[in-house]
Chains A and B, each alone.
Chain A
Amino acid sequence: DVKVTQSSRYLVKRTGEKVFLECVQDMDHENMFWYRQDPGLGLRLIYFSYDVKMKEKGDIPEGYSVSREKKERFSLILESASTNQTSMYLCASSFNRGRSGYEQYFGPGTRLTVT
Protein backbone atom coordinates (compact mmCIF):
# COMPACT_ATOMS: atom_id res chain seq x y z
CA ASP A 1 0.00 0.00 0.00
CA VAL A 2 1.17 3.50 -0.80
CA LYS A 3 1.85 5.47 2.30
CA VAL A 4 2.05 9.23 2.56
CA THR A 5 2.79 10.52 6.03
CA GLN A 6 2.71 14.03 7.40
CA SER A 7 4.73 15.11 10.40
CA SER A 8 1.84 16.37 12.53
CA ARG A 9 -1.93 15.93 12.64
CA TYR A 10 -2.50 19.10 14.63
CA LEU A 11 -0.24 22.11 15.02
CA VAL A 12 -0.70 25.41 16.83
CA LYS A 13 1.71 28.25 16.06
CA ARG A 14 1.93 31.93 16.83
CA THR A 15 1.79 34.74 14.29
CA GLY A 16 5.24 35.42 12.86
CA GLU A 17 6.68 32.00 13.61
CA LYS A 18 8.41 29.97 10.92
CA VAL A 19 6.52 26.74 10.37
CA PHE A 20 7.73 23.54 8.73
CA LEU A 21 5.32 20.89 7.49
CA GLU A 22 6.95 17.65 6.42
CA CYS A 23 5.62 15.03 4.03
CA VAL A 24 7.16 11.65 3.24
CA GLN A 25 6.03 9.06 0.69
CA ASP A 26 7.30 5.51 0.29
CA MET A 27 6.32 4.67 -3.29
CA ASP A 28 9.16 6.30 -5.22
CA HIS A 29 6.70 8.78 -6.74
CA GLU A 30 8.18 11.55 -8.85
CA ASN A 31 5.44 14.09 -8.17
CA MET A 32 4.60 15.62 -4.81
CA PHE A 33 2.02 18.27 -4.01
CA TRP A 34 0.94 20.58 -1.20
CA TYR A 35 -2.67 21.72 -0.94
CA ARG A 36 -4.64 23.69 1.55
CA GLN A 37 -8.31 22.99 2.17
CA ASP A 38 -10.73 25.56 3.50
CA PRO A 39 -14.51 25.34 3.92
CA GLY A 40 -16.30 26.55 0.82
CA LEU A 41 -13.06 26.91 -1.16
CA GLY A 42 -12.20 23.26 -1.73
CA LEU A 43 -8.62 22.13 -2.30
CA ARG A 44 -6.20 24.69 -3.63
CA LEU A 45 -2.74 23.84 -4.87
CA ILE A 46 0.10 25.70 -3.16
CA TYR A 47 3.23 24.15 -4.71
CA PHE A 48 4.23 20.98 -6.47
CA SER A 49 7.41 19.23 -7.46
CA TYR A 50 8.23 16.92 -10.37
CA ASP A 51 11.63 15.86 -9.14
CA VAL A 52 14.28 16.44 -6.53
CA LYS A 53 15.17 20.13 -6.21
CA MET A 54 12.41 21.01 -8.71
CA LYS A 55 9.42 23.08 -7.69
CA GLU A 56 6.53 24.81 -9.40
CA LYS A 57 4.08 27.36 -8.05
CA GLY A 58 0.49 26.34 -7.76
CA ASP A 59 -2.53 28.59 -7.49
CA ILE A 60 -1.77 30.19 -4.11
CA PRO A 61 2.01 30.19 -3.44
CA GLU A 62 2.18 33.56 -1.67
CA GLY A 63 3.48 33.28 1.88
CA TYR A 64 4.80 29.74 1.32
CA SER A 65 7.98 28.10 0.12
CA VAL A 66 8.93 24.45 -0.39
CA SER A 67 11.95 22.22 -0.33
CA ARG A 68 12.61 18.87 -1.97
CA GLU A 69 16.12 17.66 -1.22
CA LYS A 70 15.24 13.96 -1.39
CA LYS A 71 12.76 12.21 -3.66
CA GLU A 72 10.63 10.88 -0.83
CA ARG A 73 10.36 14.11 1.16
CA PHE A 74 8.59 17.38 0.37
CA SER A 75 8.52 20.18 2.92
CA LEU A 76 6.19 23.15 3.07
CA ILE A 77 7.52 26.23 4.83
CA LEU A 78 5.53 29.16 6.14
CA GLU A 79 8.19 31.83 6.45
CA SER A 80 6.18 34.02 8.84
CA ALA A 81 2.89 32.45 9.82
CA SER A 82 -0.22 34.60 9.71
CA THR A 83 -3.75 33.95 10.96
CA ASN A 84 -5.06 33.65 7.38
CA GLN A 85 -2.86 30.58 6.98
CA THR A 86 -4.96 28.70 9.52
CA SER A 87 -6.14 25.76 7.45
CA MET A 88 -5.97 22.04 6.75
CA TYR A 89 -2.81 21.22 4.78
CA LEU A 90 -2.75 18.11 2.63
CA CYS A 91 0.25 16.52 0.99
CA ALA A 92 -0.07 14.16 -1.98
CA SER A 93 2.16 12.20 -4.32
CA SER A 94 1.81 10.48 -7.68
CA PHE A 95 3.72 8.94 -10.53
CA ASN A 96 4.68 11.18 -13.43
CA ARG A 97 4.51 9.10 -16.57
CA GLY A 98 3.39 11.31 -19.38
CA ARG A 99 0.23 13.17 -20.08
CA SER A 100 -2.29 10.57 -19.10
CA GLY A 101 -2.17 11.61 -15.49
CA TYR A 102 -2.22 9.32 -12.50
CA GLU A 103 -4.11 9.21 -9.24
CA GLN A 104 -2.72 11.08 -6.30
CA TYR A 105 -2.20 9.53 -2.89
CA PHE A 106 -2.89 11.80 0.05
CA GLY A 107 -1.53 12.04 3.54
CA PRO A 108 -3.86 12.35 6.55
CA GLY A 109 -3.54 16.14 6.67
CA THR A 110 -2.18 18.66 9.16
CA ARG A 111 -4.66 21.01 10.78
CA LEU A 112 -2.68 24.18 11.43
CA THR A 113 -3.96 26.92 13.69
CA VAL A 114 -2.11 30.24 13.79
CA THR A 115 -2.99 32.43 16.77
Chain B
Amino acid sequence: SQQGEEDPQALSIQEGENATMNCSYKTSINNLQWYRQNSGRGLVHLILIRSNEREKHSGRLRVTLDTSKKSSSLLITASRAADTASYFCATVSWQEYGNKLVFGAGTILRVKS
Protein backbone atom coordinates (compact mmCIF):
# COMPACT_ATOMS: atom_id res chain seq x y z
CA SER B 1 0.00 0.00 0.00
CA GLN B 2 2.72 2.40 -0.98
CA GLN B 3 1.04 5.76 -1.13
CA GLY B 4 3.89 8.24 -1.39
CA GLU B 5 6.38 8.26 -4.22
CA GLU B 6 9.54 10.31 -4.04
CA ASP B 7 11.28 11.95 -6.93
CA PRO B 8 14.12 11.77 -7.78
CA GLN B 9 15.16 8.32 -6.64
CA ALA B 10 18.73 9.56 -6.20
CA LEU B 11 20.33 12.99 -6.05
CA SER B 12 23.99 13.97 -5.94
CA ILE B 13 25.02 17.56 -5.19
CA GLN B 14 28.00 19.57 -3.99
CA GLU B 15 28.26 20.80 -0.43
CA GLY B 16 26.65 24.23 -0.10
CA GLU B 17 24.07 23.62 -2.82
CA ASN B 18 20.35 23.23 -2.16
CA ALA B 19 18.63 19.87 -2.46
CA THR B 20 14.99 19.48 -3.41
CA MET B 21 13.04 16.25 -3.11
CA ASN B 22 9.45 15.75 -4.15
CA CYS B 23 6.74 13.44 -2.93
CA SER B 24 3.42 12.60 -4.55
CA TYR B 25 0.59 10.68 -2.96
CA LYS B 26 -2.76 9.29 -4.04
CA THR B 27 -5.46 9.84 -1.41
CA SER B 28 -6.54 12.72 0.78
CA ILE B 29 -4.38 13.03 3.86
CA ASN B 30 -4.42 14.33 7.43
CA ASN B 31 -0.72 15.07 7.49
CA LEU B 32 2.52 14.37 5.67
CA GLN B 33 5.84 13.71 7.35
CA TRP B 34 9.45 13.59 6.23
CA TYR B 35 12.03 11.25 7.70
CA ARG B 36 15.78 10.82 7.24
CA GLN B 37 17.66 7.55 7.42
CA ASN B 38 21.41 7.37 7.62
CA SER B 39 22.93 4.24 6.10
CA GLY B 40 21.95 1.12 8.02
CA ARG B 41 20.22 3.01 10.81
CA GLY B 42 16.70 3.79 11.98
CA LEU B 43 14.61 6.65 10.67
CA VAL B 44 14.62 10.08 12.25
CA HIS B 45 11.59 12.34 12.06
CA LEU B 46 12.34 15.69 10.42
CA ILE B 47 9.10 17.60 10.03
CA LEU B 48 5.31 17.15 9.99
CA ILE B 49 2.97 19.30 7.94
CA ARG B 50 -0.77 19.14 8.40
CA SER B 51 -3.26 19.12 5.55
CA ASN B 52 -4.38 22.68 6.31
CA GLU B 53 -0.80 24.01 6.19
CA ARG B 54 1.02 25.05 3.03
CA GLU B 55 4.56 25.60 4.20
CA LYS B 56 6.69 24.81 7.20
CA HIS B 57 10.28 25.55 8.18
CA SER B 58 12.70 23.89 10.55
CA GLY B 59 16.26 25.15 10.50
CA ARG B 60 17.62 24.51 6.99
CA LEU B 61 14.54 22.51 6.03
CA ARG B 62 11.56 23.88 4.18
CA VAL B 63 8.54 21.73 3.40
CA THR B 64 5.65 22.69 1.16
CA LEU B 65 2.37 20.91 0.70
CA ASP B 66 -0.03 21.27 -2.21
CA THR B 67 -3.12 19.21 -1.47
CA SER B 68 -4.73 20.09 -4.80
CA LYS B 69 -1.81 18.41 -6.59
CA LYS B 70 -1.34 15.79 -3.87
CA SER B 71 2.32 16.64 -3.63
CA SER B 72 4.95 17.87 -1.20
CA SER B 73 8.53 19.01 -1.50
CA LEU B 74 11.43 19.03 0.93
CA LEU B 75 14.12 21.64 0.43
CA ILE B 76 17.42 21.39 2.27
CA THR B 77 19.36 24.62 1.96
CA ALA B 78 23.16 24.98 2.14
CA SER B 79 23.65 21.24 2.21
CA ARG B 80 26.43 19.58 4.19
CA ALA B 81 28.16 16.23 3.82
CA ALA B 82 26.32 15.13 6.98
CA ASP B 83 23.01 15.50 5.07
CA THR B 84 23.96 12.44 3.02
CA ALA B 85 21.14 9.99 3.75
CA SER B 86 17.89 8.56 2.41
CA TYR B 87 14.82 10.76 2.77
CA PHE B 88 11.30 9.37 3.00
CA CYS B 89 7.93 11.00 2.90
CA ALA B 90 5.09 9.33 4.78
CA THR B 91 1.41 10.15 4.90
CA VAL B 92 -1.33 9.75 7.47
CA SER B 93 -4.70 9.24 5.84
CA TRP B 94 -7.13 8.38 8.59
CA GLN B 95 -10.01 7.57 6.28
CA GLU B 96 -7.97 5.21 4.13
CA TYR B 97 -5.42 3.71 6.48
CA GLY B 98 -6.38 4.70 10.02
CA ASN B 99 -3.49 5.76 12.22
CA LYS B 100 -0.80 4.12 10.10
CA LEU B 101 2.03 5.87 8.31
CA VAL B 102 2.38 4.93 4.65
CA PHE B 103 5.90 5.42 3.35
CA GLY B 104 7.27 6.15 -0.08
CA ALA B 105 10.34 4.40 -1.47
CA GLY B 106 12.68 7.25 -0.60
CA THR B 107 15.24 9.55 -2.23
CA ILE B 108 18.93 8.83 -1.74
CA LEU B 109 20.80 12.10 -1.28
CA ARG B 110 24.56 12.27 -1.61
CA VAL B 111 26.33 15.51 -0.70
CA LYS B 112 29.90 15.67 -1.94
CA SER B 113 32.45 17.68 -0.01
Contact of B99 among A4, A101, A109 (CB under 8 A): A101
Is A58 an interface position by the 8 A CB rule? Answer: yes
**Number of CB contacts from chain A to chain B under 8 A:** 59
Segment among A12-20, A40-48, A65-73, A75-83 that sits at the interface with chain B:
A40-48
Q: Given contacts A43-B88, A58-B100, A101-B94, are A108 and B1 in contact (CB under 8 A)?
A: no
How far does the alpha carbon of A100 sit from the alpha carbon of B101 in the complex, in Å? 12
Residues of A near B88 (CB, < 8 A) are 42-43
A106 touches B44 (CB 8 A): yes
CA–CA, A48 to B43, complex, Å? Answer: 17
Chain A residues with Cβ under 8 A from B31's Cβ? Answer: 100-101
Instruction: Please count how many residues in chain A sit with their CB below 8 Å of the partner chain's CB atoms.
Output: 28
Chain A residues whose CB sits within 8 angstroms of the CB of B106 once the complex forms = 42
Chain A residues near B30: list those with CB within 8 A.
99-101
* Residue in contact with B42 in the complex, picked from A45, A102, A103, A107, CB distance below 8 Å: A107
- Which A residues touch B100, using CB under 8 A? 33, 45, 48, 58
Complex interface bits, B6-27 against A, C-beta within 8 A gives 1, otherwise 0: 0000000000000000000000
Question: 18 pairs across A/B with beta carbons < 8 Å?
Answer: A31-B99, A40-B105, A41-B105, A42-B103, A43-B88, A43-B103, A45-B100, A58-B100, A59-B1, A99-B30, A101-B30, A101-B48, A101-B94, A103-B45, A104-B45, A104-B101, A107-B42, A109-B40
